[in-house]
Structure formats: C-alpha cells, structure tokens
Structure 1
C-alpha cells in the first residue's frame, strides 16, 4: 500500500445530505483553494456541471439512464445541504474544474439482470450509507420514485448476531465507543451540529482516522456481489485520482462518503485496480438533471442514504445562527396561520424548555427531539395530534427543485415520444379536436395516455364534455394542443418516474396520502380512466379509511358521484369495477343514514347546495341500481314528508320519488296541495315548488292537476304574500326554457276556459244566506273580511 501525497490530495469524508458536513466542506474548500475538485458521482454527468450556476435550484438529482430502456436508471439526489452540492457550487462560483469520480453508470447499469440489485435508495454499503457508503450521494436505482410513496425498510433486518450488526453499521461502532446508544444522535452532535468558522479546526482528519480504524477492525462488512461492486467503485475512484495527479494539479480536493476515505488515502498497486476493473460490462448511458423533493430525501421514503428530517437539516444549513429560536418562531407562525393562539411568550418559553431538556439529557446542544418536545408541550399546549401534524410538515419541509429549460431530455420525455408513435398521436402546436371511441383498442390506448398525462400535470389534452352530442360512456372528446411549456412539465414530472405509467402511479399514491374524501373518489375515477391498476388498490384503501372516519354528510355526498361513474366506466373500459361498486355502495348507505339529520337548520344557500347534492347522489344511485337505489329512495321518502326539512329539499325529494314511480299523481297532488295551503308560510311554499320544479317545468304541462294546484295557490295569495314570493317564483319559472314557459302559459289559459264552460256549476246550488254564518266564522279564523251576502 502506498499513501498518497496529502499535501496535494485532500480527501473530505462526508455524510451525504448532512448540513454540518456541508458547512465543513465549504469552509475547507475556502481554506484549501483547490484547482480541481473530485466528487463522488457518475462521470457521465461531467458535462452537466456547467448547469449548476445556470438556474439549477436544489433539491435536484442527477439522472443516468439507458436510452430506450427507461427502467434501467439511477438517481443521485442533492439538496442545498448536501456536501456534494456545496462542492459543485464552490467550483461554479470560482471557475474551478470539477469532475465526478465514482464508477461510471455505464457499468453499473449494464450489470446482468440476474445479479441482485439494491432496493430503491439502498446503498450497497448497507448502513454505511449513513456516513457516505454506497453508490454516490445516495444513488437510487429504479424504482426509486415509487419508493417515495411506498416506504421500504430504512435499514437491513436485524439478524440477531451482534457481530454482524456491528459490521454493517460503522456509525454504530463509533457511537458505541463514544458511549452513545443512537448512532444518528452521535453523528449529529459530533459532526452535523458542530460550529464552523475560520478558527475552527477541520473535522476531516479525525473522520479519516476514525473510519480507518473501523475498516481495519471490521473490514468492509460486505460479501459476494456487494463486495465486488464496492471494490470496483473504490478502484475506479483511485484510478481517477491517479490520473488527476499525473495532470500536475497543484491541490486536489476529493469529496466522498466518509467510508471511502481510507481507500483513497492508501493505494494498492495500479495493476491490482486495473485487474478489478477489467472486463466490466458496459451500456450506452445518458444523463440529465431533474427536479427532486425533500420527501424523496427522507429515509421514510425508502431511500437508504436518506436523512430523518430533511426540513430540519435544510433549516440548520440555511440558518446557522440561533437555529432553535428560528425554528420555534416559525412553528409559532404556522400555528397562528392555522388559527391557534400562540404568542411570543410561548416561543420564549419553548426555547427555554429546549435548553433545559438538553442539559438534563446531557447533550451539548438542543436537537430535533428537544425541539419536538417543546413544540408539543408549550406551543401546542399538550395537544399531541396537533404537534405531530406540525412536526411532520416542518421536519420534511417539502420542497421541489427546478432545472433550467436547456437541460437534456429525461426518460419520461423519451417514453412519451415512444407512446405517441405507438398510438399514432403526434403533438402539434395547432389546436385540434379529437373524438375517441373507447370500444376500439387504439381509442382506449389514446384515452389512457391522455388521462395519465393529466394526472402528471401535463395537460396536452383537455376533455370536452358533450362536444359530440353523444351521452354514451363509450365516447370521449378532447381538445389537443402542445405548448412549449409542456416539455418543462414533463421534466418536472420526471421526479415521479421514468415512464408515463409508473410516474402517474407514483403521483396518484402521493396525492392519495393527503387527499380528502371527495378528492379520493375523483382520483379513483381518474385511475380507472388512466388504467392505473397498481394505484387503484391504494386509492380504494385510503378511500375506505377516510369514509369510515368522515362524518360530514356533504363530503360523503360529494364523494359518491365520481365513484358511481367509475363503476359505469368499468364496463366500457374492460376494467374490474367490483371493488369500486362495493365502496360506492358503502358510501351510499352512510349517506342514507345521515341524510335526515343533516337537513336541520339549513339556510336558503345551504338548502340550494343540498338540492344539488341530492340530485348528484340520485344520479349515482341510479348508476349503482339494485338495493342501493332502493335504499336511497327510502331515505328520500323520509325527507319528503318531514316538516322540518327545508322547502327546497322536500320539494326535490317529492319530485324524485314521483319520477322514480314511488309516488303516483294523486298522492303527489295531495302533497303539493298541503305544501301550498294557507297554513304554510308563502316563502316555504315557494321554496317547495322551486325544489320540486327545478330543472324542468314539463311536468306542469302534462299534469293538469298539478298545474291547477299551483295556479290556485298563486291566485289565493294576498297582495303582500304575492310580493314576498314573487322573486322566488320568478326564479323558478325563469329557469325553464322558453318553449316550456310558453306551454305552461297555454295550459293555464285553457284551465280558465274549461272552468268557464262548465254548465252545471255546483256553486249555482249554494244558498248565500244559509252559508253566511259559516263563511263569517271561517273569515274570522283566517283574519279576513267576510263577503256580504247578495
């Protein structure tokens, strides 16, 4: 073994995505002023380093992929607090040459399929990834985007063998030697939490010495293919370093995972490294930058080199002075935005509590645990649920990076181009309308592609409702236009996957995790349209859970129609809609149970909204059919006769029951007579009629008995009452089409003619003198003046 010239080569061992490591790297680079910076990462991205100073905003990720095979890809994510990003930024600002020195992606992505590969986000070094082991700054092989929505284990399973655990966890060995039972806590306090400054000694010699001791005692802790892969990576790093030394660079800075530092300081013979790298498979690889998110940097996403709290680390890096105070002040602001009373005194007391907790726990500085305890105890006044929600939002601190427009094309764009060719649907800047017949295979494929793109926010096509005049579910109409900004939308959507289907699936899973009940049912409908079989199960599971917890009848009613439509679409699109039908039936049953209690105390605006909800649920119940529809009509039957129900809602319920055959003409006429009798407030009667007649007045044209009831009610109103209800009546009849209003007027005129043509009018047999006492009594009851007998 030969040791490199440490006067020319300075190896900075870091933890990927560590703010303390990042600050230390920044300080060391300013001190060293190197003329070459080598960074752990794929050399294929060397030509992309120029974009660092031209609009790249972290979190971003380097993406290497095999053209034509988007499933063969790997990501190297960077946040603003990643040491590698700090090194890239330093080189861009100072005009220093920068290269990546890890094993080329051309070799790693050409490995045979039979060889076991790491899980999403898993480093080949096991838990060594915590201090920088594995494939670069968290190289995450596909399906890394999906892993963010389907959490994977964050560490290797415990084998029960203490020696084995120690081998795969170098941080654990060092932490245990320092008297810590939590390796994360030890690293945070010793490295990430330390202050940096001009007079602060560099931590990198101590890190190198510690890692050398661990490797000398335990070795790499890897066997088989994993050991071979790690040996190839370190051999290639040494080859790149040797080449740089031959180029007579004055001072070289190497930024790599701390685990690799001993391997770069002690070199074997050149022939040994050459032998390790000989005969490696190779594939043609392209590379680009794509936007990334803090959520994908979190260890909870399944990313093995991830950190527990990316939002907290971002805060520590961007606010190095008084970070605890600033964090708690921000927590107080967020709580106030959510209508919780939090004062500056709360924040001051929370800061004092963090300091006290740190002292009691024997820690040099307050960390995230102390801050979380203070937020719950002081700012949230012991409300654990509120504190957990706030803590989760702040700890992840979700951010989406951005890339400049001239970034090379990502696999998602290539996959879309291939699918456009397959379905014979090429993009055009000229707007066009497209009608699809879903009974045809290519029509369905086109529809699926357009719906998937819409789920990704790539609105190439806009659905047109009723554009063809067809009401059948086998036909869709789209308005297509390709705008230049859609290419940028595709690049941004690349964070979700490398092909349209997997990206749409990952996006749906992420949305389902935060969606409310109506959004979930709409999402289920969109999944069915987009044929996302891998996502619909998770959406339905979330939907079932939300429905079981939600007690808001309006949200339940709003959630039902999209689900019922999805059941109908299942038949046309050849999809299995049995699970959708079951969930929809369960939702409808809860709506039926809670409908009557939900009608209490509704004002006019709320009643109008409820009528629309009732109409929507009626359409959904018809689509579901069978017992579900019967139960819904039974619930409407209870509403129709309930005096406390708003007039609009009761009237609408009676109309639906009549249209469904549950209420015959004579029974309906009797109910309308009661609803418009003198004992009912005119405003309620008008509202009842508005609910009953809303949407169509043809029933009055064809049913003379109902028209007579309405005519009699209007004719019998006093002048004051007529003035009161006139706006409501006008609103009701004004909503009818002109031909309907004309037909109703004709029917009313014929009613008068029919009444005047009756020869044997029963009123002719009336004796006014004998009837006078009865008339006077009724007049007194009604508060009107009795007519004087002739």
Structure 2
C-alpha cells in the first residue's frame, strides 16, 4: 500500500492530508484540497464507533465547538473526549463530506480499546507526552516559539490564498514528518504503533469499498506510518488480545476555554478565540479583530475611539514588518492593543485575553443526539425552567416564593447531591431572608460525564437524587454527614428520601455520645427546620429529632466546657455561638418553653462557673444580655467579678474577648454602654506593668477586629472620660447619645415608621410625621 502524500494526480493510493488539530490554516488547506480532489470518500481521525453519529454533523442545531464523548457503559467515569471546533480540519472535512453527499468514516483505535487501556483521562487517545514535532521543526527553522512558527508558515500563508496546488503543503509536511519519524521513532508515544495499525486496517477496508479515491485527514505525525508498507497479519498481530469494554458515544457541547487546555489529541491551543476569528473572518482580519477588542473595552467603560482602532491596526502592521512576519499575528495584535487601547496596562488586556483570545463560546448539539436517560430528563427540565447551560460564569438570584424559582432551586440542589456541580451557592446580594437564594452557574463539558455517572442512580433527576440520598444515609457513619444530608434533602425537595434519612439521623444521634459532634450537627438541623417557611416542606419529624438533640446538647455541654486549654476553649466558644443561633431558629417550630428555656439555663451555668474558660464565660454573659435574660446590673456584676484584681490578667482578657466579641460584636456594645466601657477601662488601667505585656496581644486581637470608626469612637469616649465609677465634672456637658436609661417616648416614636418600611401594616394618619 503506497498512499499519496503529494499532488492529487499522483498515482498509487489515497490522499493523506496531515494536519495540526484545531488549526485554522490546516482547516482552510484541507477544504481547498477536498474541493480540488473531490474524493469518493473521506476518512477522519477518530473512534470508528462514532460513525453512526456523523450524520448529526449536518444537523441545523449542531454548532461547534462540540466533542465526541465516549464512556464505558459499566463505568461512566471512564471517558474520553474528541473535541472539534469550526476551525478544526477534521470538522471541515466532515462538513464537506456531508454537504457533497460523500461517505465519511472515522479511522482510529476503537474507543472500546482505548478506554480499556487507560483510566479516565481528558482528551482522547494522545496524552501530550513525548516530543513536540512542531517544536522541533520550529527550532530547525530558527524559531524559539512553535506557535509563532506555525502561524508564519501555515496559518498566515494559507490565509493569503495558498499555493497553486492545494495538495503541495501536505506533501511538504509529510516529508518533514517522515524525517522526524526516522530520527525519533515513535517520539515517546509507544501507543501510536497500535493506533496506526488500527488506522491501516480500516484504510484497507475503505479502499476495498471505495477504491483509491479516498482522502484521509489525520494528524501529520501519523502520515508516515499510514504510508508505510506493512502486512495485514502484522497489523492484526499488534491488535490481538487487546482488552475491550462496552462503550457508548454521543456528541456533547464543548467550549473554547476547554480547547485552550491540553485536551483532545494532546493538541491544546492557547488562543481558540483568535483562531476562530482567523478562520471566520472573510477579509481584513486585523481590522475586524481590533474592532471586536474596542467594543469589548468600551463595554467595560474604557474610552476607546475609532482613531484608537485605526492606530492599533497601523501599529500591529508595523510590528509584523519589523519582526519579519508574513502577516500580523496574535503577538503583534496584543502588543498594539496594550500600547494603544490599554495605555500600557496589562489589567484591561487580561479581559481581552479572557473574553476574546480564549473566549466563552459554548457549542450546541441537537436533541436527537444519543444521551443517557438522566441527561434527557435534565435537558427537558432546563428547557422547562428556562435555565440554559452557559460556558460563562453568571450569577442567578432566586425568589423561592415564586414557583419557577423554587423549581430551579430544587433542580440545582438535586444535581449537587448527584455530584453534578453546575451551580454553587453564593452569598446573596439583595436579601438575607430565607426566601432568597443566590447561585453561581457555569456549565463545563465534564458535567456530561458526571451526569452519565449519576445515571446509575436513576433515569430522572428526582429519582436519581432520591436513590443517592437514601444510599448515602444508610452508608454514612457520622452524625454530621447524615445531618448535612437531611439539609440537602429539604433543599432539594426529596420528600420520599426524608423518612430514610430521618431514621438514619435518629439512629446516629442516639449512638453518638460526643457532645461536640451533637453541637456541630444542631445548626444544620435548625437551618433545615426553617425551610418549611418558604418551601412548604413538612419538617415535623425533623423537629422531633432536633428537639431531642438540643436536649442532649444542653445536658452535656456545660461539663464539656470546663478545664479547657486555649485552643479547646476557642473551639467550644465557636460551638456555643453556633448552638445559640440554632436554638434561636427553633422559635415557632418546636415548643417555645423547651430548648430555649433549657439553653438559657445552660448559659447561666457557663457564665457563673469559675472552671469554665474565660472566653466562654464572657460569651455566655453577652448572649444572656442580648436576649434580655440578664439585666445591665447583673452583667456589670459579672464583668466586675471577671475583671477583679484577683483574676489573672490573661483570664480577664479572655473574658473581655468573649464578652465584647471580635468582628461579630463590632464593639457597639461598649460604644452604647459607657458603664461597661468604664469597667473595662478601669480594669485595663489597673493592670500591673509586669503583666500588661502578656495581656496586650489578647486585647489587640479583640479590638483590632473592630471597624476603624468604632475604634475611633471608643478612643474618643475613653479620652473624654470619666465614665461610671469615677469622679465627674458636673459642669461638663453630658455625653451625646447616652443617658441613664431608655427614653421610651423617643423610642416609641420610630415604631410606626419602621412598621411602614417593613410592610407590617398601614400606619395611622400622621404616624410617619411622628418619627
């Protein structure tokens, strides 16, 4: 077998068109060669199991970039992709064959073998190791950058119209690759021998079916091997005994960003957006590119004028001429944009690279493409909920009081439970209410693999998520894991899974004797109990478990908070805060005189026991004061005891840290209660000099967390002095904003306005004026 690698009129066999994957110049050259030769059949590098999917390439809704996805039926996580873009030579050949009614086939090692030989990896048969043929050729030509060499000799020259004989470039490239194969052998790709044997066998079969009028589009590295003289027996011997797995293939959308990585034939490209522009621009590509850049920067509120566009085009041309390049390349265009439109800054240039040089294009495949049932159900729900997958990261704010938004929330939570992380919860910007949810969405091609993997749990998103939750509940060995799962089930609306999860939760809670674990589990249960407010979820069973868990925490936490070192005390401090918040969320869900009253008793114990660490005693005192379960005088008494001369300064400083809090306290308590501030000031100024240095780091850690304005106000209050318990100048004016007690008349005056702002009722006539 002696295939042709030169002119179309050369006798002896098929025409081998060696290409660089994802190269617009190669794509244009392939198109020109096919138009010139008009072969009877076209063979393209790819898994032959995909032949049945090739007709979909002509479908009206098939928009590159797309990829062939092959995965093992029994292990969907073992998968491989074969990506194709508009400017991929293989895609151009497939589309040309479809438009001209010419048979087209894939030729390569079957995916059944390649998946059996390797663990799951990204990007098809070649893994990118070994020599870089383009790099070696570039170095021989005196280039230090393979990308720039390829652009100069292929991309830009092809854009200028190409040679008179469209097949001549392929003959020259084949000659170069033949020399490289002679010098480097397999080039560090030992698996290529098997792949090329499979290609030769399939090429022989195609010649029997279609004759010698065949065009083969494959990686240039393989051209010498396909033209080598071998026997059928030798090729079959290389493939004998190879392992196989059952595989399924389909088309999936791909993205330019994924093309920018080393994926698909080991041929990751750095600038897919730029290549797409070069391939799609009918004329004046530099001018069109600069116009795109100017539009992007103007949308980002940067002043870019038409004169800037003209100047950038002129500068790019001058740079190309000075550097001896046949046409303006990406490097020249980028340098011109930086100098003219970005004023020398790389900050706006990063936006150009992200949005245009790489790009956020997401392809599309028709609904008729094969897919696992779970993917079909997901596609249907995405259309119903108008939640289109997009490659660009975007924010989604949901109002759970609306049916559509609530359904979107359930879908996203169900997918997260299945390991399909299309959306990640984000901090809401507009509201902190429980009826608001914010998500950060971004669709990645790998999610098709995750969806296929999740298909083992069911054929619908709801059914699969339910089955996964039930399985996880039974297999989980930790209370925290089951608690988090219960929260996920409520968020995802998995009512059928809840009974199984609740039984597992009750069993784990009954067996777990570590009060720390119980305290860590309680906040998630409390959050879950609130979901019924806006999700119409029955949380009665969860409330019973939460009440029992709270009871055990109240019994076990005080002993667990005694005789702790500094690190353990800080951990217990965090747990006290979390449990207090959780107990507050129980209001209106479980009996009012249950956990809340018992927890208040726990805080009283913690605040008064000397064996409890100072940071915990101080925090318990503050929580009781905030809840109105401790009067100001009682709080002052506890503070006085904690800051008495008999207390070691480090212990007193820890009590202060727990009481006034760090960033969460904000220092406002001391700003608005001069009596407590005076107690702190009196204690601080009375610390002996020899122990002050040991106390200072603790105090600095506490007060440094306050906002600058709060620290400034506290400083002014201390400077103005004196506070309660000191001599006071009766002639001095009273401190603004402070008094001996609450002015109820002034406080009542703002109530009608607050009710109006909150929409609680309609104020009486004249009420607004009262405030």
Per the alignment, residue 355 of structure 2 pairs with 393
Per-residue deviation, 1:45: 0.6
Per the alignment, residue 66 of structure 2 pairs with 60
Q: Distance in 2 between matches of 1:458 and 1:34?
A: 50
TM-aligned CA distance change 1:317 to 1:529, over 3 Å: farther
Residues 451 and 526, structure 1, Cα contact 8 Å, conserved in 2: no
Q: Distance in 2 between matches of 1:311 and 1:391?
A: 9
Q: How does 1:439-454 map to 2 (within 5 A)?
A: 451=417
Q: Distance in 1 between matches of 2:316 and 2:742?
A: 78
Q: Distance in 2 between matches of 1:526 and 1:368?
A: 50
Q: Distance in 2 between matches of 1:566 and 1:191?
A: 62
Q: How does 1:587-606 map to 2 (within 5 A)?
A: none
SS for the counterpart of 1:290 is strand
Per the alignment, residue 9 of structure 1 pairs with 14
Query: Which residue of 347, 350, 369 maps to 2:331?
Result: 369
Residues 412 and 494, structure 1, Cα contact 8 Å, conserved in 2: no
Q: How does 1:543-562 map to 2 (within 5 A)?
A: none
Residues 65 and 411, structure 1, Cα contact 8 Å, conserved in 2: no
Q: How does 1:658-737 map to 2 (within 5 A)?
A: 706-710=743-747, 730-734=752-756
Per the alignment, residue 265 of structure 1 pairs with 227
Query: Which residue of 70, 76, 86 maps to 1:80?
Result: 86
Q: Distance in 2 between matches of 1:638 and 1:244?
A: 86
Per the alignment, residue 453 of structure 2 pairs with 499
User: Within the alignment, does 1:279 sit opposite 2:241 as a pair?
Assistant: yes
Per the alignment, residue 210 of structure 1 pairs with 176
TM-aligned CA distance change 1:410 to 1:340, over 3 Å: same
Residues 62 and 288, structure 1, Cα contact 8 Å, conserved in 2: yes
- Using the size of structure 1 for normalisation, the TM-score is 0.53
Per the alignment, residue 169 of structure 1 pairs with 132
Unaligned regions of 5+ residues in structure 2, if any? 5-9, 380-402, 404-409, 426-430, 438-442, 462-482, 490-519, 529-545, 547-566, 578-621, 628-654, 675-709, 711-723, 725-734
Residues 17 and 170, structure 2, Cα contact 8 Å, conserved in 1: yes
Per the alignment, residue 606 of structure 1 pairs with none
Which range is displaced more, 322-331 or 630-639? 630-639
TM-aligned CA distance change 1:302 to 1:402, over 3 Å: closer
Per-residue deviation, 1:633: 2.8
TM-aligned CA distance change 1:303 to 1:108, over 3 Å: closer
Which range is displaced more, 258-267 or 305-314? 258-267
Per the alignment, residue 524 of structure 2 pairs with 569
Residues 50 and 106, structure 2, Cα contact 8 Å, conserved in 1: yes
Query: Which residue of 165, 172, 181 maps to 1:201?
Result: 165
Per the alignment, residue 509 of structure 2 pairs with none
Q: Distance in 1 between matches of 2:343 and 2:103?
A: 53
- For the aligned residue pairs, the C-alpha RMSD in angstroms reads 5.3
TM-aligned CA distance change 1:413 to 1:709, over 3 Å: closer
TM-aligned CA distance change 1:398 to 1:447, over 3 Å: closer
Which range is displaced more, 330-339 or 302-311? 302-311
Per-residue deviation, 1:391: 2.4
TM-aligned CA distance change 1:372 to 1:466, over 3 Å: closer
Residues 37 and 252, structure 1, Cα contact 8 Å, conserved in 2: yes
Q: Distance in 1 between matches of 2:374 and 2:291?
A: 41
SS for the counterpart of 1:243 is helix
Q: How does 1:321-400 map to 2 (within 5 A)?
A: 321-400=283-362
Per the alignment, residue 122 of structure 2 pairs with 120
Per-residue deviation, 1:447: 6.9
TM-aligned CA distance change 1:42 to 1:466, over 3 Å: same
User: Within the alignment, does 1:318 sit opposite 2:284 as a pair?
Assistant: no
SS for the counterpart of 1:363 is coil
Per the alignment, residue 21 of structure 1 pairs with 26
Residues 43 and 104, structure 2, Cα contact 8 Å, conserved in 1: yes
Per the alignment, residue 219 of structure 1 pairs with 185
SS for the counterpart of 2:665 is helix
Residues 66 and 253, structure 2, Cα contact 8 Å, conserved in 1: yes
Q: How does 1:97-176 map to 2 (within 5 A)?
A: 97-111=103-117, 120-121=122-123, 124=126, 126=128, 168-176=131-139
Query: Which residue of 253, 256, 259 maps to 2:215?
Result: 253
Q: Distance in 1 between matches of 2:522 and 2:350?
A: 37
Deviations 1:110-156 (A, max 9, x none): 22xxxx669534864746xxxxxxxxxxxxxxxxxxxxxxxxxxxx6
Residues 127 and 266, structure 2, Cα contact 8 Å, conserved in 1: no
Per the alignment, residue 633 of structure 1 pairs with 665
Per the alignment, residue 38 of structure 2 pairs with 33
Per-residue deviation, 1:733: 3.9
Residues 56 and 62, structure 2, Cα contact 8 Å, conserved in 1: yes
Q: Distance in 2 between matches of 1:740 and 1:181?
A: 76
Query: Which residue of 36, 48, 52 maps to 1:47?
Result: 52
Deviations 1:446-477 (A, max 9, x none): 97656557842699xxxxx999xxx9xxxx99
Per the alignment, residue 779 of structure 1 pairs with none
SS for the counterpart of 2:77 is strand
User: Within the alignment, does 1:306 sit opposite 2:260 as a pair?
Assistant: no
Q: Distance in 1 between matches of 2:672 and 2:432?
A: 33
Residues 375 and 451, structure 2, Cα contact 8 Å, conserved in 1: no
Per the alignment, residue 596 of structure 1 pairs with none
Per-residue deviation, 1:249: 3.3
Q: How does 1:454-465 map to 2 (within 5 A)?
A: 455-456=421-422
Q: How does 1:398-437 map to 2 (within 5 A)?
A: 398-410=360-372, 413=375
Query: Which residue of 67, 77, 101 maps to 1:71?
Result: 77
TM-aligned CA distance change 1:64 to 1:377, over 3 Å: same
Q: Distance in 2 between matches of 1:380 and 1:408?
A: 46
Deviations 1:757-782 (A, max 9, x none): xxxxxxxxxxxxxxxxxxxxxxxxxx
Per-residue deviation, 1:392: 2.9
Q: Distance in 2 between matches of 1:737 and 1:169?
A: 69
Q: Distance in 2 between matches of 1:267 and 1:413?
A: 45
Q: Distance in 1 between matches of 2:527 and 2:78?
A: 34
Residues 80 and 122, structure 2, Cα contact 8 Å, conserved in 1: no
Per the alignment, residue 145 of structure 2 pairs with 182
Q: Distance in 1 between matches of 2:352 and 2:760?
A: 56
Q: Distance in 2 between matches of 1:292 and 1:326?
A: 25
SS for the counterpart of 2:157 is coil
Deviations 1:137-184 (A, max 9, x none): xxxxxxxxxxxxxxxxxxx6xxxxxxxxxxx12223222222222222
Per-residue deviation, 1:320: 4.3
SS for the counterpart of 1:406 is coil
SS for the counterpart of 2:70 is strand
Q: Distance in 2 between matches of 1:119 and 1:214?
A: 27
TM-aligned CA distance change 1:249 to 1:346, over 3 Å: same
Q: Distance in 2 between matches of 1:302 and 1:89?
A: 19
Deviations 1:647-692 (A, max 9, x none): xxxxxx9xxxxxxxxxxxxx9xxxxxxxxxxx99xxxx9xx9xxxx
Unaligned regions of 5+ residues in structure 1, if any? 128-155, 157-167, 418-432, 434-443, 460-464, 479-488, 505-524, 532-564, 589-617, 643-652, 654-666, 668-678, 689-703, 715-727, 749-790
Per-residue deviation, 1:53: 1.2
Per-residue deviation, 1:211: 0.8
Per-residue deviation, 1:72: 1.5
Number of residues paired by the alignment?
Answer: 493
TM-aligned CA distance change 1:176 to 1:734, over 3 Å: closer
Deviations 1:339-368 (A, max 9, x none): 111111111111111111112222221211
- Using the size of structure 2 for normalisation, the TM-score is 0.55
Per-residue deviation, 1:730: 4.5
